[in-house]
Structure 1
Amino acid sequence: MKVLVTGGTSGLGLAMASALAAAGATVALTGRSGRRARAVAAGLPGAVGVEMDVRDESSVAGAVEEAWSRLGGVDMLVNNAGIGMRTVNPRFMTHPQGFWEVPVAGFRAVIETNLTGYFLVAREVTPRMLAAGGGRIVNIAVSESTTHRAGFVPYGPSRAGSESLSRIMAADLRDTGVTVNLLLPGGPTVTGMLPLDTVPEDRRFLEPSVMGPPIVWLASDDAAGVHDERVVAVEFDRWLRGRNG
Protein backbone atom coordinates (compact mmCIF):
# COMPACT_ATOMS: atom_id res chain seq x y z
CA MET A 1 0.00 0.00 0.00
CA LYS A 2 1.38 3.40 -1.04
CA VAL A 3 0.02 6.20 1.12
CA LEU A 4 0.23 10.00 0.94
CA VAL A 5 -0.33 11.68 4.32
CA THR A 6 -0.66 15.46 4.31
CA GLY A 7 0.48 17.33 7.40
CA GLY A 8 2.49 14.29 8.40
CA THR A 9 5.31 15.93 10.36
CA SER A 10 3.53 16.11 13.74
CA GLY A 11 0.36 15.32 15.64
CA LEU A 12 -2.25 13.05 14.11
CA GLY A 13 -0.48 13.01 10.74
CA LEU A 14 2.79 11.75 12.17
CA ALA A 15 0.98 9.15 14.31
CA MET A 16 -0.83 7.80 11.25
CA ALA A 17 2.25 7.90 9.02
CA SER A 18 4.23 6.03 11.70
CA ALA A 19 1.55 3.37 12.14
CA LEU A 20 1.22 2.86 8.39
CA ALA A 21 4.97 2.60 7.89
CA ALA A 22 5.26 0.13 10.77
CA ALA A 23 2.53 -1.96 9.17
CA GLY A 24 4.49 -2.18 5.93
CA ALA A 25 3.01 0.65 3.88
CA THR A 26 5.23 2.93 1.81
CA VAL A 27 4.48 6.45 3.01
CA ALA A 28 5.01 9.92 1.60
CA LEU A 29 4.36 12.55 4.26
CA THR A 30 4.07 16.26 3.57
CA GLY A 31 4.74 19.48 5.41
CA ARG A 32 5.06 23.14 4.53
CA SER A 33 8.78 22.82 5.23
CA GLY A 34 10.37 20.34 2.87
CA ARG A 35 13.41 20.09 5.11
CA ARG A 36 11.29 19.14 8.12
CA ALA A 37 9.22 16.69 6.07
CA ARG A 38 12.35 14.94 4.87
CA ALA A 39 13.86 14.86 8.36
CA VAL A 40 10.71 13.32 9.88
CA ALA A 41 10.39 10.83 7.03
CA ALA A 42 13.97 9.72 7.59
CA GLY A 43 12.88 8.32 10.94
CA LEU A 44 10.24 6.05 9.41
CA PRO A 45 11.00 2.86 7.47
CA GLY A 46 10.84 3.47 3.72
CA ALA A 47 9.11 6.86 4.04
CA VAL A 48 9.76 9.96 1.94
CA GLY A 49 9.16 13.60 2.82
CA VAL A 50 7.61 16.05 0.39
CA GLU A 51 7.13 19.81 0.66
CA MET A 52 3.49 20.87 0.22
CA ASP A 53 1.50 23.97 1.08
CA VAL A 54 -2.07 22.70 0.84
CA ARG A 55 -3.37 26.25 0.34
CA ASP A 56 -1.49 26.68 -2.93
CA GLU A 57 -2.60 24.95 -6.15
CA SER A 58 0.85 24.85 -7.73
CA SER A 59 2.45 23.54 -4.56
CA VAL A 60 -0.20 20.82 -4.30
CA ALA A 61 0.20 19.84 -7.96
CA GLY A 62 3.98 19.64 -7.70
CA ALA A 63 3.90 17.69 -4.44
CA VAL A 64 1.36 15.16 -5.69
CA GLU A 65 3.43 14.65 -8.83
CA GLU A 66 6.56 14.13 -6.72
CA ALA A 67 4.85 11.72 -4.34
CA TRP A 68 3.24 9.78 -7.19
CA SER A 69 6.57 9.50 -8.99
CA ARG A 70 8.63 8.54 -5.94
CA LEU A 71 6.12 5.98 -4.65
CA GLY A 72 5.17 4.65 -8.06
CA GLY A 73 1.56 5.69 -7.53
CA VAL A 74 -0.65 6.49 -4.55
CA ASP A 75 -3.19 3.92 -3.32
CA MET A 76 -4.45 6.01 -0.40
CA LEU A 77 -4.62 9.73 0.36
CA VAL A 78 -4.94 10.77 4.00
CA ASN A 79 -6.15 14.38 4.01
CA ASN A 80 -4.95 15.60 7.39
CA ALA A 81 -3.07 18.92 7.10
CA GLY A 82 -4.69 21.58 9.23
CA ILE A 83 -4.22 24.48 11.63
CA GLY A 84 -6.15 25.22 14.80
CA MET A 85 -7.66 28.02 16.83
CA ARG A 86 -4.33 29.01 18.35
CA THR A 87 -3.34 30.62 15.07
CA VAL A 88 -6.31 33.00 15.38
CA ASN A 89 -6.67 33.37 19.16
CA PRO A 90 -3.85 31.93 21.31
CA ARG A 91 -6.11 32.21 24.40
CA PHE A 92 -9.18 30.60 22.84
CA MET A 93 -9.60 28.12 25.70
CA THR A 94 -9.76 30.80 28.42
CA HIS A 95 -10.77 33.92 26.48
CA PRO A 96 -12.95 32.85 23.53
CA GLN A 97 -13.69 35.49 20.90
CA GLY A 98 -17.06 36.15 19.36
CA PHE A 99 -17.10 35.51 15.63
CA TRP A 100 -17.32 39.26 15.00
CA GLU A 101 -13.96 39.71 16.74
CA VAL A 102 -12.10 37.20 14.57
CA PRO A 103 -9.54 38.77 12.20
CA VAL A 104 -10.51 38.29 8.58
CA ALA A 105 -7.01 37.15 7.64
CA GLY A 106 -7.11 34.52 10.38
CA PHE A 107 -10.51 33.28 9.24
CA ARG A 108 -9.31 32.92 5.67
CA ALA A 109 -6.08 31.18 6.68
CA VAL A 110 -7.91 28.47 8.63
CA ILE A 111 -10.57 27.90 5.97
CA GLU A 112 -7.96 27.79 3.20
CA THR A 113 -5.90 25.21 5.10
CA ASN A 114 -8.53 22.99 6.68
CA LEU A 115 -11.19 23.06 3.97
CA THR A 116 -9.80 24.37 0.69
CA GLY A 117 -6.65 22.33 1.32
CA TYR A 118 -8.62 19.08 1.50
CA PHE A 119 -10.36 20.02 -1.75
CA LEU A 120 -7.16 20.94 -3.59
CA VAL A 121 -5.27 17.77 -2.66
CA ALA A 122 -8.21 15.45 -3.36
CA ARG A 123 -8.87 17.29 -6.63
CA GLU A 124 -5.30 16.60 -7.71
CA VAL A 125 -5.17 12.97 -6.58
CA THR A 126 -8.62 11.73 -7.61
CA PRO A 127 -8.20 11.84 -11.43
CA ARG A 128 -4.98 9.87 -11.05
CA MET A 129 -6.72 7.26 -8.92
CA LEU A 130 -9.61 7.01 -11.38
CA ALA A 131 -7.18 6.51 -14.24
CA ALA A 132 -5.36 3.85 -12.21
CA GLY A 133 -8.63 1.99 -11.58
CA GLY A 134 -9.16 2.80 -7.93
CA GLY A 135 -7.86 4.19 -4.68
CA ARG A 136 -8.82 5.27 -1.19
CA ILE A 137 -9.27 8.70 0.37
CA VAL A 138 -9.49 9.20 4.12
CA ASN A 139 -10.41 12.69 5.33
CA ILE A 140 -9.59 13.48 8.95
CA ALA A 141 -12.42 15.11 10.91
CA VAL A 142 -13.10 16.29 14.48
CA SER A 143 -15.81 15.79 17.07
CA GLU A 144 -19.16 17.33 16.17
CA SER A 145 -19.16 19.52 19.30
CA THR A 146 -16.25 21.48 17.84
CA THR A 147 -18.47 22.61 14.98
CA HIS A 148 -20.96 24.48 17.18
CA ARG A 149 -18.98 25.48 20.27
CA ALA A 150 -18.83 29.15 21.26
CA GLY A 151 -15.57 30.83 20.34
CA PHE A 152 -14.64 28.29 17.67
CA VAL A 153 -14.85 30.44 14.55
CA PRO A 154 -13.18 29.75 12.17
CA TYR A 155 -11.96 26.27 13.19
CA GLY A 156 -15.45 24.82 13.71
CA PRO A 157 -16.80 25.95 10.34
CA SER A 158 -13.66 24.73 8.60
CA ARG A 159 -14.08 21.24 10.02
CA ALA A 160 -17.83 21.15 9.45
CA GLY A 161 -17.10 22.09 5.86
CA SER A 162 -14.48 19.41 5.42
CA GLU A 163 -16.91 16.80 6.75
CA SER A 164 -19.60 17.93 4.29
CA LEU A 165 -17.01 17.98 1.50
CA SER A 166 -16.08 14.40 2.34
CA ARG A 167 -19.67 13.18 2.18
CA ILE A 168 -20.18 14.85 -1.20
CA MET A 169 -16.89 13.42 -2.47
CA ALA A 170 -18.15 9.98 -1.44
CA ALA A 171 -21.42 10.56 -3.32
CA ASP A 172 -19.58 11.76 -6.43
CA LEU A 173 -17.22 8.77 -6.37
CA ARG A 174 -19.69 6.03 -5.56
CA ASP A 175 -19.15 2.93 -7.74
CA THR A 176 -15.97 4.33 -9.31
CA GLY A 177 -13.43 2.22 -7.44
CA VAL A 178 -12.25 5.22 -5.40
CA THR A 179 -13.56 5.10 -1.83
CA VAL A 180 -13.92 8.00 0.59
CA ASN A 181 -14.21 7.74 4.37
CA LEU A 182 -13.99 10.01 7.41
CA LEU A 183 -11.79 9.30 10.43
CA LEU A 184 -11.74 11.28 13.67
CA PRO A 185 -10.15 10.72 17.09
CA GLY A 186 -13.36 10.96 19.12
CA GLY A 187 -12.25 13.57 21.62
CA PRO A 188 -9.66 16.29 22.29
CA THR A 189 -6.23 15.03 21.34
CA VAL A 190 -2.69 16.08 22.27
CA THR A 191 -1.58 17.50 18.92
CA GLY A 192 -0.08 20.90 19.71
CA MET A 193 -3.28 22.67 18.65
CA LEU A 194 -4.46 22.88 22.28
CA PRO A 195 -2.71 25.10 24.86
CA LEU A 196 -2.48 22.43 27.54
CA ASP A 197 -1.36 24.92 30.20
CA THR A 198 -4.83 26.46 30.11
CA VAL A 199 -6.72 23.20 30.48
CA PRO A 200 -7.93 21.84 33.86
CA GLU A 201 -5.64 19.13 35.20
CA ASP A 202 -8.51 16.65 35.48
CA ARG A 203 -9.35 16.97 31.77
CA ARG A 204 -8.22 13.88 29.90
CA PHE A 205 -6.87 13.96 26.38
CA LEU A 206 -6.34 11.29 23.78
CA GLU A 207 -2.91 10.47 22.42
CA PRO A 208 -2.41 10.81 18.64
CA SER A 209 -1.59 7.09 18.52
CA VAL A 210 -5.34 6.40 18.86
CA MET A 211 -5.47 6.98 15.09
CA GLY A 212 -3.05 4.14 14.33
CA PRO A 213 -5.29 1.04 14.39
CA PRO A 214 -8.15 2.51 12.31
CA ILE A 215 -5.90 4.04 9.64
CA VAL A 216 -3.95 0.80 9.29
CA TRP A 217 -7.24 -1.09 8.94
CA LEU A 218 -8.53 1.40 6.35
CA ALA A 219 -5.39 0.68 4.33
CA SER A 220 -5.83 -3.08 4.60
CA ASP A 221 -7.43 -5.62 2.28
CA ASP A 222 -10.27 -5.97 4.80
CA ALA A 223 -11.30 -2.38 4.10
CA ALA A 224 -11.49 -2.77 0.32
CA GLY A 225 -14.84 -1.37 -0.78
CA VAL A 226 -15.60 0.33 2.55
CA HIS A 227 -17.14 3.64 1.51
CA ASP A 228 -18.77 6.73 3.02
CA GLU A 229 -18.20 5.63 6.62
CA ARG A 230 -17.49 7.90 9.60
CA VAL A 231 -15.01 6.03 11.79
CA VAL A 232 -14.39 7.26 15.34
CA ALA A 233 -10.99 6.06 16.57
CA VAL A 234 -11.94 5.61 20.24
CA GLU A 235 -14.90 3.47 19.18
CA PHE A 236 -13.04 1.61 16.43
CA ASP A 237 -12.90 -1.83 18.06
CA ARG A 238 -16.61 -1.80 18.84
CA TRP A 239 -17.45 -0.45 15.40
CA LEU A 240 -15.37 -3.15 13.72
CA ARG A 241 -17.00 -5.91 15.80
CA GLY A 242 -20.37 -4.57 14.72
CA ARG A 243 -19.36 -4.68 11.07
CA ASN A 244 -18.05 -8.19 11.37
CA GLY A 245 -21.23 -9.33 13.11
Structure 2
Amino acid sequence: MTQFENQTAIVTGGAQGIGRAVADRLAKGGARVALWDRDRALAEKAAAEIGGDAFACEVDVSDWASVEAAMKATLDATGRADILVNSAGVAGSNGPLAEYPVEEFRQITEINLLGTFHVNRAVVPAMTAQGYGRIVNIASVAGKEGNPNASAYSASKAGVIGLTKSLGKELADRDIAVNCVTPAAARTRIFDQMKQEHIDYMLSKIPRGRFLELDEAAAMIVWLCTRENSFTTASVFDLSGGRATY
Protein backbone atom coordinates (compact mmCIF):
# COMPACT_ATOMS: atom_id res chain seq x y z
CA MET A 1 0.00 0.00 0.00
CA THR A 2 1.40 3.35 -1.09
CA GLN A 3 -1.78 5.34 -1.58
CA PHE A 4 -0.79 7.85 1.12
CA GLU A 5 2.85 8.23 0.11
CA ASN A 6 4.17 11.79 0.52
CA GLN A 7 1.10 12.74 2.54
CA THR A 8 0.94 13.99 6.12
CA ALA A 9 -1.90 12.69 8.27
CA ILE A 10 -2.90 14.31 11.55
CA VAL A 11 -4.77 12.01 13.93
CA THR A 12 -6.08 13.54 17.13
CA GLY A 13 -6.51 11.12 19.99
CA GLY A 14 -4.12 8.98 18.00
CA ALA A 15 -2.37 7.33 20.92
CA GLN A 16 -5.14 4.79 21.56
CA GLY A 17 -8.55 3.49 20.52
CA ILE A 18 -10.00 4.27 17.11
CA GLY A 19 -7.40 6.98 16.52
CA ARG A 20 -4.54 4.53 17.01
CA ALA A 21 -6.13 1.95 14.69
CA VAL A 22 -6.52 4.64 12.03
CA ALA A 23 -2.95 5.86 12.49
CA ASP A 24 -1.62 2.32 12.02
CA ARG A 25 -3.48 1.93 8.71
CA LEU A 26 -2.47 5.35 7.41
CA ALA A 27 1.18 4.68 8.20
CA LYS A 28 1.02 1.31 6.45
CA GLY A 29 -0.31 3.18 3.43
CA GLY A 30 2.76 5.40 3.37
CA ALA A 31 1.55 8.48 5.28
CA ARG A 32 3.71 10.31 7.75
CA VAL A 33 1.49 10.39 10.81
CA ALA A 34 1.35 13.15 13.42
CA LEU A 35 -0.26 11.84 16.61
CA TRP A 36 -1.94 14.72 18.41
CA ASP A 37 -2.83 13.57 21.90
CA ARG A 38 -3.16 14.91 25.43
CA ASP A 39 -1.12 11.98 26.77
CA ARG A 40 2.36 12.77 25.48
CA ALA A 41 4.05 9.64 26.85
CA LEU A 42 1.45 7.33 25.34
CA ALA A 43 1.58 9.21 22.02
CA GLU A 44 5.36 8.96 21.85
CA LYS A 45 5.16 5.23 22.59
CA ALA A 46 2.54 4.80 19.84
CA ALA A 47 4.64 6.81 17.37
CA ALA A 48 7.67 4.62 18.07
CA GLU A 49 5.61 1.48 17.52
CA ILE A 50 4.04 2.82 14.31
CA GLY A 51 7.39 3.88 12.86
CA GLY A 52 7.60 5.37 9.38
CA ASP A 53 8.53 8.84 10.68
CA ALA A 54 5.43 9.01 12.86
CA PHE A 55 5.76 11.61 15.60
CA ALA A 56 3.84 12.85 18.62
CA CYS A 57 2.53 16.28 19.56
CA GLU A 58 1.12 16.96 23.01
CA VAL A 59 -2.20 18.74 22.37
CA ASP A 60 -5.22 19.78 24.38
CA VAL A 61 -7.82 20.16 21.63
CA SER A 62 -10.04 22.28 23.88
CA ASP A 63 -7.26 24.93 24.00
CA TRP A 64 -6.90 26.93 20.78
CA ALA A 65 -3.32 28.01 21.58
CA SER A 66 -2.32 24.36 22.08
CA VAL A 67 -3.85 23.40 18.73
CA GLU A 68 -2.15 26.32 16.96
CA ALA A 69 1.20 25.24 18.38
CA ALA A 70 0.69 21.65 17.25
CA MET A 71 -0.27 22.79 13.76
CA LYS A 72 2.87 24.91 13.51
CA ALA A 73 5.03 22.03 14.73
CA THR A 74 3.46 19.67 12.21
CA LEU A 75 3.92 22.05 9.28
CA ASP A 76 7.48 22.80 10.37
CA ALA A 77 8.21 19.06 10.40
CA THR A 78 6.43 18.01 7.22
CA GLY A 79 5.34 21.09 5.27
CA ARG A 80 1.91 19.62 4.57
CA ALA A 81 -1.42 18.60 6.06
CA ASP A 82 -3.26 16.26 3.70
CA ILE A 83 -5.41 14.24 6.09
CA LEU A 84 -7.13 14.98 9.37
CA VAL A 85 -8.87 12.35 11.45
CA ASN A 86 -10.32 14.02 14.51
CA SER A 87 -10.74 11.22 17.05
CA ALA A 88 -10.03 12.98 20.35
CA GLY A 89 -13.04 12.88 22.64
CA VAL A 90 -14.46 12.00 26.03
CA ALA A 91 -17.69 10.34 27.13
CA GLY A 92 -18.09 11.82 30.57
CA SER A 93 -20.20 10.37 33.34
CA ASN A 94 -23.78 9.15 33.10
CA GLY A 95 -26.73 10.73 34.83
CA PRO A 96 -30.02 12.54 34.21
CA LEU A 97 -29.79 16.02 32.75
CA ALA A 98 -31.54 17.58 35.77
CA GLU A 99 -28.67 16.35 37.96
CA TYR A 100 -25.78 16.57 35.50
CA PRO A 101 -22.77 18.54 36.81
CA VAL A 102 -22.73 21.89 35.04
CA GLU A 103 -18.93 22.05 34.90
CA GLU A 104 -18.64 18.55 33.46
CA PHE A 105 -21.19 19.33 30.74
CA ARG A 106 -19.06 22.33 29.77
CA GLN A 107 -15.84 20.29 29.74
CA ILE A 108 -17.32 17.57 27.53
CA THR A 109 -18.60 20.17 25.08
CA GLU A 110 -15.25 21.96 25.02
CA ILE A 111 -13.35 18.77 24.18
CA ASN A 112 -15.79 17.06 21.80
CA LEU A 113 -17.31 20.01 19.95
CA LEU A 114 -15.10 23.03 20.50
CA GLY A 115 -12.07 20.77 20.11
CA THR A 116 -13.37 19.58 16.74
CA PHE A 117 -13.82 23.20 15.69
CA HIS A 118 -10.31 24.13 16.83
CA VAL A 119 -8.63 21.29 14.94
CA ASN A 120 -10.63 21.81 11.75
CA ARG A 121 -10.02 25.57 12.01
CA ALA A 122 -6.27 24.99 12.26
CA VAL A 123 -5.99 22.49 9.42
CA VAL A 124 -8.29 23.94 6.76
CA PRO A 125 -6.05 26.89 5.75
CA ALA A 126 -3.17 24.51 4.95
CA MET A 127 -5.43 22.23 2.93
CA THR A 128 -6.90 25.20 1.09
CA ALA A 129 -3.45 26.53 0.22
CA GLN A 130 -2.32 23.20 -1.22
CA GLY A 131 -5.65 22.57 -2.97
CA TYR A 132 -6.27 19.15 -1.42
CA GLY A 133 -7.44 17.57 1.81
CA ARG A 134 -9.46 14.86 3.49
CA ILE A 135 -11.10 15.43 6.88
CA VAL A 136 -12.96 12.83 8.93
CA ASN A 137 -14.52 13.89 12.22
CA ILE A 138 -15.53 11.14 14.65
CA ALA A 139 -19.07 11.76 15.87
CA SER A 140 -21.29 9.05 17.40
CA VAL A 141 -24.59 7.32 16.92
CA ALA A 142 -25.51 9.13 20.15
CA GLY A 143 -25.37 12.34 18.12
CA LYS A 144 -28.06 10.98 15.82
CA GLU A 145 -30.36 9.36 18.36
CA GLY A 146 -29.45 10.75 21.78
CA ASN A 147 -28.58 8.36 24.59
CA PRO A 148 -30.51 8.77 27.83
CA ASN A 149 -28.36 9.83 30.78
CA ALA A 150 -25.69 11.06 28.36
CA SER A 151 -26.97 14.51 27.41
CA ALA A 152 -23.56 16.19 27.25
CA TYR A 153 -22.01 13.49 25.08
CA SER A 154 -25.07 13.22 22.81
CA ALA A 155 -25.35 16.98 22.34
CA SER A 156 -21.63 17.45 21.67
CA LYS A 157 -21.59 14.69 19.04
CA ALA A 158 -24.72 16.08 17.37
CA GLY A 159 -22.78 19.32 17.13
CA VAL A 160 -19.90 17.51 15.41
CA ILE A 161 -22.33 16.23 12.77
CA GLY A 162 -23.67 19.74 12.15
CA LEU A 163 -20.19 21.25 11.99
CA THR A 164 -19.07 18.61 9.49
CA LYS A 165 -22.03 19.24 7.20
CA SER A 166 -21.48 22.99 7.33
CA LEU A 167 -17.74 22.85 6.63
CA GLY A 168 -18.14 20.25 3.90
CA LYS A 169 -20.50 22.54 2.03
CA GLU A 170 -18.18 25.52 2.50
CA LEU A 171 -15.35 23.58 0.83
CA ALA A 172 -17.39 21.63 -1.73
CA ASP A 173 -15.98 23.55 -4.69
CA ARG A 174 -12.45 22.33 -3.85
CA ASP A 175 -10.77 18.93 -3.64
CA ILE A 176 -11.26 18.88 0.14
CA ALA A 177 -13.69 16.27 1.46
CA VAL A 178 -15.15 16.74 4.94
CA ASN A 179 -17.14 13.83 6.35
CA CYS A 180 -17.90 12.24 9.69
CA VAL A 181 -18.64 8.78 10.99
CA THR A 182 -21.16 7.83 13.65
CA PRO A 183 -19.85 4.74 15.45
CA ALA A 184 -21.74 2.66 17.91
CA ALA A 185 -19.71 1.88 20.99
CA ALA A 186 -16.31 0.26 20.60
CA ARG A 187 -14.69 -1.30 23.66
CA THR A 188 -11.96 1.25 24.36
CA ARG A 189 -10.79 3.12 27.46
CA ILE A 190 -13.75 5.47 27.02
CA PHE A 191 -15.80 2.70 28.67
CA ASP A 192 -13.93 3.46 31.88
CA GLN A 193 -15.96 6.66 32.13
CA MET A 194 -19.33 4.89 31.88
CA LYS A 195 -21.56 2.98 34.27
CA GLN A 196 -22.02 -0.71 33.45
CA GLU A 197 -25.76 -0.20 33.04
CA HIS A 198 -25.09 2.39 30.33
CA ILE A 199 -22.69 0.04 28.55
CA ASP A 200 -25.37 -2.68 28.69
CA TYR A 201 -27.93 -0.23 27.31
CA MET A 202 -25.72 0.63 24.33
CA LEU A 203 -25.12 -3.04 23.54
CA SER A 204 -28.84 -3.79 23.72
CA LYS A 205 -29.49 -1.21 20.98
CA ILE A 206 -27.08 -2.75 18.44
CA PRO A 207 -28.86 -5.28 16.16
CA ARG A 208 -25.58 -7.08 15.42
CA GLY A 209 -25.41 -7.90 19.12
CA ARG A 210 -21.81 -6.87 19.68
CA PHE A 211 -19.61 -3.80 19.96
CA LEU A 212 -17.71 -2.24 17.08
CA GLU A 213 -14.19 -3.54 16.47
CA LEU A 214 -11.44 -0.94 16.08
CA ASP A 215 -10.24 -2.38 12.77
CA GLU A 216 -13.79 -2.19 11.38
CA ALA A 217 -13.96 1.50 12.24
CA ALA A 218 -10.49 2.18 10.86
CA ALA A 219 -11.27 0.49 7.53
CA MET A 220 -14.13 2.87 6.76
CA ILE A 221 -12.41 5.95 8.14
CA VAL A 222 -9.22 5.36 6.17
CA TRP A 223 -11.16 4.92 2.93
CA LEU A 224 -12.71 8.34 3.53
CA CYS A 225 -9.14 9.68 3.64
CA THR A 226 -8.23 8.39 0.18
CA ARG A 227 -8.21 10.20 -3.16
CA GLU A 228 -10.88 7.69 -4.22
CA ASN A 229 -13.30 9.55 -1.97
CA SER A 230 -13.44 12.41 -4.44
CA PHE A 231 -17.18 13.16 -4.58
CA THR A 232 -18.79 12.58 -1.20
CA THR A 233 -18.52 15.44 1.28
CA ALA A 234 -20.58 16.96 4.11
CA SER A 235 -21.87 13.44 4.78
CA VAL A 236 -22.38 11.07 7.69
CA PHE A 237 -21.25 7.44 7.47
CA ASP A 238 -22.90 4.98 9.83
CA LEU A 239 -20.90 2.49 11.88
CA SER A 240 -23.65 1.46 14.26
CA GLY A 241 -24.20 -2.24 13.51
CA GLY A 242 -27.73 -1.54 12.28
CA ARG A 243 -28.80 0.70 15.14
CA ALA A 244 -29.22 3.82 13.00
CA THR A 245 -30.49 3.38 9.46
CA TYR A 246 -30.74 6.99 8.28
Confirm or deny a common fold (TM above 0.5). yes
Note if 1:65 corresponds to 2:65. no
Structure 1 segments of 4+ aligned residues over 3 angstroms from their partners? 144-147, 199-203
CA contact (8 A) 2:164 2:178 kept: yes
| Residue of 94, 101, 106 corresponding to 1:103 | 101
RMSD: 2.1
5+ residue gaps, structure 1: 236-245
Secondary structure of the corresponding residue to residue 49 of structure 1: strand
CA contact (8 A) 2:135 2:225 kept: no
CA contact (8 A) 2:13 2:88 kept: yes
Alpha-carbon distance between aligned partners in 2 of 1:145 and 1:155, rounded to the nearest angstrom: 8
Q: How many pairs does the alignment contain?
A: 225
> TM-score by structure 1 length?
0.84
Q: Write the deviation string for residues 168-190 of structure 1: whole angstroms up to 9, x where unpaired.
A: 111211203322111233x2211
Note if 1:79 corresponds to 2:76. no
Within-5 A mapping of 1:1-245:
1-46=7-52, 47-85=54-92, 89=93, 92=94, 97-144=95-142, 147-185=145-183, 187-195=184-192, 198=196, 199-200=199-200, 204-233=210-239
5+ residue gaps, structure 2: 1-6, 242-246
CA contact (8 A) 1:6 1:30 kept: yes
CA contact (8 A) 1:20 1:215 kept: no
Aligned to 2:4: none
Percent of residue pairs bearing the same amino acid type: 35
Alpha-carbon distance between aligned partners in 2 of 1:145 and 1:213, rounded to the nearest angstrom: 21
CA contact (8 A) 2:139 2:182 kept: yes
Alpha-carbon distance between aligned partners in 2 of 1:122 and 1:208, rounded to the nearest angstrom: 23
Counterpart residue type for residue 190 of structure 1: R
Shift in Å at residue 145 of structure 1? 6.7
Shift in Å at residue 5 of structure 1? 0.5
Shift in Å at residue 81 of structure 1? 0.7
Secondary structure of the corresponding residue to residue 50 of structure 2: coil
> TM-score by structure 2 length?
0.84
Q: Write the deviation string for residues 20-50 of structure 1: whole angstroms up to 9, x where unpaired.
A: 1122222111111323211211110321111
Alpha-carbon distance between aligned partners in 2 of 1:234 and 1:107, rounded to the nearest angstrom: 24
